[in-house]
A and B are shown apart, each in its own frame.
Chain A
Amino acid sequence: MANAWKIARKNSAQLPLVIVIALAVVLVLLGKTNSGIFDQARMRITDWMAPALEAARSPVQGVGRWMGSVTEIFSVYEQNLRLKEENARLRQWRNVAIVLQNRVDHYQALLHAVPDPKMNAVLARVIGRASRPFLQTMVLDAGKDDNARPGQAVMDARGMIGRIYLTGERTSWVILLTDLNSRIPVSIASSVNRGSAVQAIMTGDNTAMPTLAMVPGTVTLHAGDQVTSSGDGGLLPAGLPIGTVVADGAGWRVALLADPAASQDVEILNFSAPPEEMPPTALLPAEAAGLKPHVPPPPPAPAAKPVAKPAPAEPVDAAGSVE
């Protein structure tokens, strides 16, 4: 270090600085091409820190509740009245939902529809949150030991929060829907034209309301349209509630139903659509597509066996008589 100090004083520290800058650039490029090493290191650190995070969770949660309740204490009466009214309205909607669900089940039975894939869920606790300029994430206390896998959807009581993107043995990192890197295929059910739905991509940009991209130009969205997961790509189940459409200047954003900042317990949905198996080539409708019909390949020739040389044939004349 003493040498470094002298070198710095002589203004000849260019080489170390250049090397260090080059190393930093290499790190950026390495992270871009292969971030697996960094992810593994992060998960090891998070797994190691998990007990400390869980211990720190309770007092922090208590402080957060106390800070939240200070402002709410002055509006308890109004809030109570509003909640009672909302509860009565929701009970009516619950009855409507039950009737409609029964009707859908009946129609599905009549049509022999493919049943929805069954899902099980793991309940996990949020033990950490990080809101960085380029990353919005939360840490859960469920990992590979609890069958949590990258890509699985994470829900709170109201709707989808995000997806798991890193799993350790006992902890998982969730990429929130609001994160810069989040892209989710969604289906937008129109509140005006009943029955019509639009497919789009919901893109996070680190604001509270993600944007809607890839919306067909011929479609008009309306504020209040319901946004659910579309299930395209088979990574997420279809129909997970996400939010409602709100206008934002010339574009559209999604007001999320879930509140990642307040969620304490979340569900990790274990959804895995069975991979669709390709039919055998012979069964493909090749002829219908105007292609050459498939001809099964000839059976493989039996392995060559050493055969005794046949005896030389007797010369045969044109008439077939043996001389």
Chain B
Amino acid sequence: MTTLDRSAAPTRLKYLVALVPLFCGLAGVVIANIPVSLLGGLVPPPLLALVPVYFWCLVRPDLMTPAATLVIGFFEDLLSGGPPGVWTLSFVLTYVLVARQRDSFAGLSGAAAVVGFAAAASVTCACAYFTIAALYWHLPLLAPILSELAMTVLFYVPAAMLVVAIHHRIVGPMRSDI
């Protein structure tokens, strides 16, 4: 894929490019929630949509806005089949945390970056867990949500590599134009 010429890109294309993080989040939701399981349902699917939310919240929070996070969380709720609003609230609260601690998270690299994402994903899963506990008025088992967290962290590296590539090839060249 060729990089976009900054000066030549028409305005409409620039705004389409600005929607790339949102589309990446929605694509993560769709891929993770296709109800087809290779492992016979032994492990839950990862929260792939959290990777673009986390990445662009750190790198370009103007493109991954709270409203975009809300939309991604809403689609996660819609497709995952669980109680509505749980992942929406979890994603938004994670966004708030990451945005507040942006300087700390953005400075991480290598294995520390994975730890940083794991911390953010832990907040997401903890929020979802306690929201479910409040809705059902009893504490669910911890094992399923811990395996969801483990799968999400496990898939972070390949998903982040893809997101970084998209950012460098499509979103990055438009940095100063939007």
Q: Would B92 and A21 count as touching, CB distance under 8 A?
A: yes
Verify if B132 is at the interface (C-beta below 8 Å from A): yes
Q: Would B62 and A5 count as touching, CB distance under 8 A?
A: yes
**Contact among A24, A63, A207 with B89 in the assembled complex (CB-CB below 8 Å):** A24
Q: Would A133 and B135 count as touching, CB distance under 8 A?
A: no
Bound: A8/B74 CA distance, A: 23
Q: Would B83 and A35 count as touching, CB distance under 8 A?
A: yes
Q: Would A31 and B67 count as touching, CB distance under 8 A?
A: no
Q: Would B141 and A207 count as touching, CB distance under 8 A?
A: yes
Residues of chain B from 39 to 81 with CB closer than 8 A to chain A in the complex: 40-45, 61-63, 65-67, 69-70, 73-74, 77-81
Bound: A4/B141 CA distance, A: 40
Verify if B160 is at the interface (C-beta below 8 Å from A): no
Give the dominant DSSP class at B's interface. Answer: helix
Q: Would B136 and A133 count as touching, CB distance under 8 A?
A: no
Q: Would A27 and B178 count as touching, CB distance under 8 A?
A: no
Task: Quote the shortest CB–CB distance from B46 to chain A (angstroms).
Answer: 11
The stretch of A135-143, A188-196, A248-256 in contact with B is A135-143
Q: Which B residues are in CB contact (< 8 Å) with A23? A: 70
Q: Would B70 and A24 count as touching, CB distance under 8 A?
A: yes
Count: A-B pairs, CB below 8 Å: 164
Bound: A20/B89 CA distance, A: 9
Bound: A129/B33 CA distance, A: 10
Q: Would B41 and A131 count as touching, CB distance under 8 A?
A: yes
Q: Would B35 and A128 count as touching, CB distance under 8 A?
A: yes
Q: Would B178 and A20 count as touching, CB distance under 8 A?
A: no
Q: A133-B145, A205-B141 are in contact. Are A8 and B81 (CB under 8 A)?
A: no
Interface flags, A47-88, vs B, CB<8A=1, else 0? 000000100110010011001000000000000000000000
Q: Which A residues are in CB contact (< 8 Å) with B69? A: 20
Q: Would B66 and A133 count as touching, CB distance under 8 A?
A: no
Residues of chain B from 126 to 178 with CB closer than 8 A to chain A in the complex: 128-129, 131-132, 135-136, 140-141, 143-145, 147-148, 178
Q: Which B residues are in CB contact (< 8 Å) with A1? A: 18, 62-63, 65, 178
Bound: A27/B65 CA distance, A: 18
Verify if A185 is at the interface (C-beta below 8 Å from B): no
Residues of chain A from 1 to 58 with CB closer than 8 A to chain B in the complex: 1-2, 4-5, 8, 13, 16-17, 20-21, 23-32, 35, 38, 41-42, 45, 53, 56-57
Residues of chain A from 232 to 256 with CB closer than 8 A to chain B in the complex: none
Verify if B37 is at the interface (C-beta below 8 Å from A): yes
Bound: A135/B135 CA distance, A: 14
Of the listed residues A8, A20, A26, A31, the one surrounded by the most CB atoms of chain B closer than 10 A to its CB is: A20
Verify if A260 is at the interface (C-beta below 8 Å from B): yes
Q: Which B residues are in CB contact (< 8 Å) with A134? A: 82-83, 86, 128, 132, 140, 144-145
Verify if A182 is at the interface (C-beta below 8 Å from B): no
Verify if B8 is at the interface (C-beta below 8 Å from A): no
Q: Which A residues are in CB contact (< 8 Å) with B140? A: 133-134, 180, 205-206
Q: Would A21 and B80 count as touching, CB distance under 8 A?
A: no
Residues of chain A from 201 to 250 with CB closer than 8 A to chain B in the complex: 205-207
Please list the 4 inter-chain residue pairs (A to B) with the smallest Cβ-Cβ separation, ordered nearest first.
A31-B84, A5-B62, A128-B35, A28-B85
**CB within 8 Å of B: which residues of A?**
1-2, 4-5, 8, 13, 16-17, 20-21, 23-32, 35, 38, 41-42, 45, 53, 56-57, 60, 63-64, 67, 127-139, 173, 180-181, 205-207, 260-262
Beyond A17-B99, A21-B92, A60-B37, 17 additional pairs, beta carbon < 8 A: A20-B70, A27-B74, A27-B77, A28-B84, A28-B86, A57-B36, A63-B38, A64-B40, A128-B34, A129-B41, A131-B41, A132-B44, A133-B128, A134-B145, A137-B81, A205-B140, A261-B37
- A-B pairs with beta carbons under 8 Å apart, 28 shown: A2-B62, A2-B178, A5-B61, A8-B62, A16-B67, A17-B99, A21-B89, A21-B93, A24-B73, A24-B85, A25-B89, A27-B85, A28-B84, A29-B85, A31-B77, A41-B78, A53-B34, A53-B36, A56-B36, A60-B38, A129-B41, A130-B35, A131-B41, A132-B44, A133-B44, A133-B129, A135-B80, A206-B144
